[in-house]
Amino acid sequence: MDRLVLLVSTGVARGLVIALFALSLVIIWRAARIVNFGQAAMAVVAVYVAFAVHAATGSYVLAVLGALVTGALLGLAVERGLMRRVPGATPMPGMIVAIGLVMVLQSLLGVLFGPRHRPMSPVFSQSPLYVGDVPVLSRYDLFVLVVALVVVVGLGLLFNRSTLGLQLRAAAVAPEVSRLLGVRVPRMVTIGWMLSSAVAALAVLLLVPTELGLNAHSADVLFVHAFTVAVLGGLDSPAGALVGGLVVGVLISLVTGYASAGLAPLAVLGLLTTVLLVRPGGIFATKEARTA
Amino acid sequence: MRNHATTPTPRRAPGRAPRPPAVRAAAAASAGVVGLALTACSSPAAATPGIDDETVTVGTHQPLTGPAAAGFASISAATSAYFEHVNANGGINGRTIEYVVKDDGYNPATTQTVVRELVQEDEVFAMLNGLGTPTHSSVLDYLDQNGVPDLFVASGSTTWNQPEEYPNTFGFNVDYVVEGAALGQYAADQDPGAVVCVLGQDDDFGETFLQGVELALGADGVATYQTYSTSNEDVTAQIGAMRKAGCEINLLATINGFTAMSLGTAAKMGWFPQWYASSSGGDYPTLVEFLGEDVGPKLLDGFVSANYLPNSPGSDWYELFQQINDEHNAGAPFDGNTVYGMSVGYLFAEALAKAGEDPTRESLVEAVESGELAGNGILPLSFGPDDHAAYDGVGIAVVSGGVQDFVDATYRVDGDTVEAVEPEPVPLEDDGVPTSD
Amino acid sequence: MTRTTARNGARSSTRTIVLRAIMLTVLALAATFALDPFRNYQLAVVAATFCATAGLTLLVGLTGQLSLGHGVLMAAGGYGYALVAGPAADAGLGGVGRFALGIAGALVLSAVVGGLLGLAGARLRGPYLAGLTLALVIALPAVATQVPGLGKDQGLGVPFEAVPAPLAGVMVVEQWHAWIAIVVAAVAVTPLVVLRSGPAGLRMRATHGDEVAARLAGISPARVKVTAFVASSVSAGLGGAVLAVVAQNVGPGRYSLAFSLLLLVAVVVGGLGSVGGAAVGAALVVLLPWLVDTVVSGAGMPADLEQRLSGNLAVAVFGALLVAVTVAWPGGLAGATAGPRARLARRRRPAPAPVLDPDTDPAQEPTSDPQPLTER
């Protein structure tokens, strides 16, 4: 039982970061109908900036701000400079350009900073909080949890309760109609990109202290898990990203704990296959016609 | 005739290690045909590739990019720096050593390509210190069939020690069985009643290491065996299981990053057992870098690891290597990889010096097999006609007061027995530049 | 274009396709005599990669299904070969018999994996299929480690194919392996070209263009998609088998996500839907890293910089090419070499213009423009 508590709590902590990143993919899919394969690489660039800010000022808050701002600016640059020029009504060309972007960014980071991991110690103590005598979550995990929840709730409010959110959704679902109704569709797409990249940068910044450290490939696995999660939950569904992230996080933790680490990718593949067989548009798929 | 000149006659039948005699016979038959064909076509004047009066060219494949580069890219830089030192001191028998380093990104497919390029285009004299078990396995047959000396492979797999199958291949790292057995024995010697557990990488590394531990402690001597995968940078579940099992001494078959992560994760749980790491994941400066300057030294106090190289601060070799690192490696961070890379270079230089005034590929292999090489380890090299492993024993190093150094415990593995022995370090001579006598 | 003309074209062109394929094959075989062993090795790898890119370009270009895990299908072929040829060698079998058995193993395993993926593809749309194939390629090392008999991360050994006795006097083993690769590639790709220029290809385009309309015209999109996936997979599997023979080894390390993405780079840069473009793309992904590396190491840079550039620079070039081609040059290299007149025509008219191009595949039916990415 102790074991289960430990594994589930670990899974939740990891799953939340995955969920946050998956959420960024959902935002961009809703705004621009594109799966941004470049999300991880862009976020890593932003985190390198955050590291530089942290090194220069010693302030974690400024580092977080640095990551968010750089993330948003990168989103802006990529959308305005690149994606807007991509032809086509299908998602495929955009996805391919994004794959090209990953290659360029990762190799440039490799050239500039070399292959070494740059470790970052977390701001909060990593010593755990106990339930009974089981160490459950570290204070840092708790911090991640709170940040993730704040972001999720904030985005929920933004999309559902604000005019901007309404415009964002309208522009994504029915661009032509929205344009007629006076919504500046291109601007909405840009805002979607900026929002999405900033959230992704935050997710990677939260992830790095729990892993080996920062290098060009730090977020590769996170991206793969998050993409799986976004597909699992339904690319259109923020709730799906959240639930999917938690499910995948806990699944990986349980399989690693009770079976072996090597089986975890197979368990994720199995879960994804099963879900897609039953619901080809993901768990929280709404209208089929909107998914392609 | 370029087609033929660069492909020397295979020295023996190509065949894969684990195949039964019937296949070997079949392979031998087909190889005989190749052999005939090649002999028929080889240009007679083909001199030994990669060597002339001025230079010897050797090649290697190393991960300089991709995820594995983080842990290993500095090795070949150190080896190159050592060779520059040798060259600056007149080379070996008047020849300078040129070290061609090719990036394979730890991808066996790329390894295949770059090794063929090294052999066929760059015409290297020998391969040196090709890094990685899956990567180097994929070129083993190729190198063998082309008669290229395949020296001092950078991996502790037992695959390299098959003189019958691969007469030109020699390992460098002490194999994982020896490390597991030595660390297991040290655990038993220090604290006979302790609960011992193992955390291993989910491949050859972890499994072979576990065999070694069980050699020392018996099949039921390990309370729990946990594995991790490099693709998942989280070991909370594994460490949780070990804590639950009441482990007191944890033996690690992990690379440096995951050693640090294991210690860090356990500390987060408020758990401070003893840690014993293999030489592949027990490098103090690297671990401190991962854990951070503030907590690293605290967490690592009393940390036990195995090593077979003169990685002992203040020793002659250590100081020489530091000096070479400053002069020829632009003062790159000095850590276990630096000592490792330079030791590889030294051993090759020594083998080359012993291979005669005009070395051939055959005489180089003979020099290694002769058993006359000393190397620079803390124990004598175990190379011989029937043994292609470099070391059969390790010393135990412990971190104390921020310094990692050997303690009075050295073990050798002979067959199925682990025995405590006295270390026999090799004295430094001639500024670390080997001579032929 | 109408269905009648396409069919007539298909009937008359099948023969031409085969003839041209034979001609190209013979030319390629002859060319190996001009190459040194390392170039022949590279040629073999290019030919094997071509098997996979030809199938992928068909899948992505014609049916619009994005597979990010095509490397897995190659791996399936490689393992299929090793799992059959290995025991065959143990049983004392050699020569053509063992090779044929191995190829049969490659065909079966890659067809099964491709069929399963095709069934999934028939149900899933764009990004969802991409997600599934991505998860699959990530899981490959775990499969190799966990499934007994696949040799874990070191993979399986593959019996050595020596030069047969009658040819032993004229060639070395690298050239012989190049021959094997070229012949297998011809056998793998020619049927794809026939398929593409025939009614099946038309059905694929129809399904991609408008699934509802295709269904109304009596086409079963599901069946078309599964067919395309199996055809593409079998071809990739043959490529994987060739790589296994050349490398004497098949393992999960080769078929990483990066490799699968490179296959995609090859087909996009070559021009989606164009088999000739797939050949150019295959040559590009094999040769460019080597070329960049040669340039970098020849430039005499400081060792540290050289080490950082090595490997990274080639990836950067691939990425930039991918972006540039998609944004500025949607027809890929195949489209770009089609001649100014055709390009002009295409720009003026919304419908694809006729393209006849010696550089693209021998089966370019008159009405098939390499499908630009924007095609819907």
B184 shares a domain with B139? no
Q: How many angstroms from the chain centroid is the CA of residue B137?
A: 14
User: What confidence score (pLDDT) does residue C7 get?
Assistant: 53
Gap between the terminal Cα atoms of chain B: 39
- Residue A261 sits at the chain C interface (C-beta within 8 Å): no
Burial grade of A132 (CB within 10 A; 0-12, 13-18, 19 or more): exposed
Mark whether B244 and B290 lie in a shared domain: yes
Distance from C-alpha of A252 to C-alpha of B238, rounded to nearest angstrom: 12
Digit-coded pLDDT (tens) for B331-385? 889 999 999 999 999 999 999 999 999 999 999 999 999 999 999 999 999 999 9
Neighbouring chains of C at 3+ CB pairs under 8 Å are: A, B
Residues A97, C321 contacting (CB under 8 angstroms): no
Q: How confident is the model at residue B31 (pLDDT cuts 50, 70, 90)?
A: very low
Q: Indicate the domain borders of chain C.
A: 3-256
- CA C320 from chain centre, in angstroms, equals 21
**Got the DSSP string for C33-44?**
GGS-HHHHHHHH
The predicted-structure confidence for B246-286, as pLDDT tens digits, reads as follows: 999 999 999 999 999 999 889 888 889 999 999 999 999 99
| Strand (E) or helix (H) holding A254 | helix A238-258
Q: What tokens were used for C160? A: 């050595």
Type of residue at C252 = P
Q: Are strands B196-201 and B249-253 parallel, antiparallel or unpaired?
A: parallel
Average pLDDT over residues C231-235: 96
ipTM: 0.88
User: Confidence band (pLDDT; 50, 70, 90) for C9?
Assistant: low
C126 close to A (CB below 8 A): yes
The span from the CA of A141 to the CA of B52, in Å, is 62
Q: Is the pLDDT of residue C360 over 80?
A: no
Site from A84, A111, A271, A284 to mutate, C interface, most C CB atoms within 10 angstroms: A111
Output the pLDDT for position A32: 83
Nearest to B378 by CA among B174, B184, B188: B174
Question: Are residue B183 and residue B265 in the same domain, yes or no?
Answer: yes
B400 DSSP assignment? E
Chain A and chain C share a number of CB contacts under 8 A equal to 155
Q: What is the mean pLDDT of residues A147-158?
A: 87
| DSSP for residue B377 | S
Residue in the block written with tokens 């599964």: C226
Judged against a pLDDT cut of 90, whether residue C152 lies above it is answered with: no
Q: Could you write out the DSSP letters of every residue in C132-197?
A: HHHHHHHHHHHHHHHSTTS-GGG-EE----PPPGGGTTT--HHHHHHHHHHHHHHHHHHHHHHHHH
Same domain, B239 and B361: no
Q: How far apart are CA C126 and CA A235, in angstroms?
A: 11
Supply φ then ψ for residue C69, to 5 degrees: -120, 35
Is residue C128 less than 8 Å (CB to CB) from chain B? no
C239 touches B at CB < 8 Å: no
| Half-sphere exposure (Cβ direction) of A266: Cα atoms closer than 13 Å | 16
Residue B4 bridge partners (DSSP): none
Whether residue B212 is found in the same domain as residue B303: yes
CATH number, domain with residue B161: 3.40.50.2300
B108 & B207 share domain = no
Distance CA B409, CA B420 (A): 7
Interatomic CA distance for residues C183 and C248, integer angstroms = 18
* Mean pLDDT of the C63-70 span: 88
Strand arrangement, sheet containing B222-228: B222-228, B196-201, B249-253, B274-277, B304-307, B393-400, B403-414, B417-421
Q: How far, in Å, CA of C215 to CA of C206, rounded?
A: 9
Same domain for B195 and B238?
yes
Query: In this predicted model, what pLDDT tens digit does every residue of A15-44 receive, in sequence order?
Result: 999 999 999 999 998 888 888 999 999 999
B65 interfacial to chain C (CB closer than 8 Å): yes
Listed residue (C192, C199, C198, C167) closest to C180, CA to CA: C167
Average pLDDT over residues C144-161: 87
> From A127, which residue of chain B is nearest by alpha-carbon distance?
B268
Q: How does DSSP assign C16-85, residue by residue?
A: HHHHHHHHHHHHHHHHGGGS-HHHHHHHHHHHHHHHHHHHHHIIIIIH----S-HHHHHHHHHHHHHHHH
* B16–C contact, CB cutoff 8 A: yes
Instruction: Render pLDDT for B44-68 as a digit per residue (tens, 0 to 9).
Output: 335 789 999 999 999 999 998 777 8
Q: Tell me whether residues B234 and A210 touch, CB distance under 8 A.
A: yes
Is residue B280 within 8 Å of A47, Cβ to Cβ?
no
**How deeply is A170 buried, as exposed, middle or buried, from its count of CB atoms within 10 A (0-12, 13-18, 19+)?**
middle
Last residue of a domain, one of B286, B307, B328: B307
d(CA B306, CA B187): 12
B180 and B303 both lie in a single domain: yes
Residue A191 above 90 pLDDT?
Answer: yes
Judgement on whether residues B330 and B356 belong to the same structural domain of the protein: yes
The predicted-structure confidence for A201-256, as pLDDT tens digits, reads as follows 999 999 998 888 898 888 988 999 999 999 999 888 888 999 999 999 999 999 98
**What is d(CA A163, CA A169) in angstroms, rounded to the nearest whole number?**
10
**Cβ under 8 Å to C: A residues 136-165:** none
Give the other-Cβ count within 10 Å of C8's Cβ. 11
3-state secondary structure at position B165: coil
pTM here? 0.86
Torsion of CA B300, B305, B309, B314, to 10 degrees: 40
CA Rg value for chain A: 19
Report the gap between the CA of A110 and the closest CA in chain B (Å). Answer: 7
- Cβ–Cβ contact C145 with A under 8 A: yes
Instruction: Give A127's contacts in chain B (Cβ within 8 Å).
Output: 267-268, 270
Task: Catalogue all structural domains in chain A, each as residue range(s) with its CATH number.
Answer: 2-126+133-291 (1.10.3470)
Q: Identify the domain boundary among B375, B391, B407.
A: B391
Cα–Cα distance, B76 to B353 (Å, whole number):
21
| Confidence band for B30, pLDDT divided at 50, 70 and 90 | very low
DSSP symbol at B270: T
| Residues 6+ positions from A94 with CB-CB distance below 8 Å | A32, A33, A34, A35, A83, A86, A88
Based on the domain organization, do B202 and B291 belong to the same domain? Answer: yes
Task: Using CA atoms of A47, A49, A50, A54 in order, give the dihedral in degrees to the nearest 10.
Answer: 140
The domain of B6 spans 2-41
Which residue in the set C145, C251, C256 is minimally distant from B138, CB to CB? C251
Same domain, B322 and B265: no
Q: Quick one: tokens of A204?
A: 């990677």
- The alpha carbon of residue B242 is apart from the nearest alpha carbon of chain A, in Å, by 10
Question: From residue B85, how far is each of B97, B322, B404, C157, C297 by CA, in Å?
Answer: 10, 12, 26, 40, 21
Query: Taking CA B304 as the corner, what is the angle to CA B383 and CA B209, rounded to the nearest 5 degrees?
Result: 50
**What would the DSSP string read from start to end of C246-306?**
HHTEE-GGGG-HHHHHHHHHHHHHH-TT-HHHHHHHHHHHHHHHHHHHHHHHHTT--HHHH
Q: Which of B307, B332, B348 is the last residue of a domain?
A: B307
Say how far apart CA A219 and CA A228 lie, in whole Å: 14
Report the pLDDT value the prediction gives residue B394, as an integer from 0 to 100: 95
For A261, the closest of B67, B228, B295 (CB atoms) is B228
User: Mean pLDDT score of chain A, rounded to an integer?
Assistant: 87
Judge whether residue B18 has pLDDT over 80.
no
Q: Which chains touch B (3 or more CB pairs under 8 A)?
A: A, C
Unique residue bearing structure tokens 């100014």: C340
Residue B203 is predicted with a pLDDT of 86
pLDDT above 70: residue B192: yes
Question: Does C306 contact B at CB distance below 8 Å?
Answer: no
- Tell me how crowded residue B32 is: count the other CB atoms within 10 A of its CB: 13
The mean pLDDT value for C71-95 works out to: 94
Tell whether the model's pLDDT for residue A259 goes beyond 90: no
> Do B309 and B275 contact (CB within 8 A), yes or no?
no
**In this predicted structure, what is the pLDDT of residue B188?**
95
The two tokens of residue B56 are: 């010897």
SS3 for A121? coil
pLDDT higher than threshold 80 for residue B397? yes
Rounded Cα gap, residues B74 and B35, in angstroms: 40
Number of domains in chain B: 3
Distances A84 to A78, A123, A165, A250, B38 between C-alpha atoms, Å: 8, 39, 21, 38, 59
Closest chain A residue to C327, measured at CA: A86
- What pLDDT, on the 0 to 100 scale, is given for residue B124? 96
Task: Please indicate, yes or no, if residue B265 is contained in any of the structural domains.
Answer: yes
Q: Do B267 and A126 touch (CB under 8 A)?
A: yes
Residues C178-193, mean pLDDT to the nearest whole number = 95
DSSP 8-state secondary structure symbol assigned to residue B117 = I
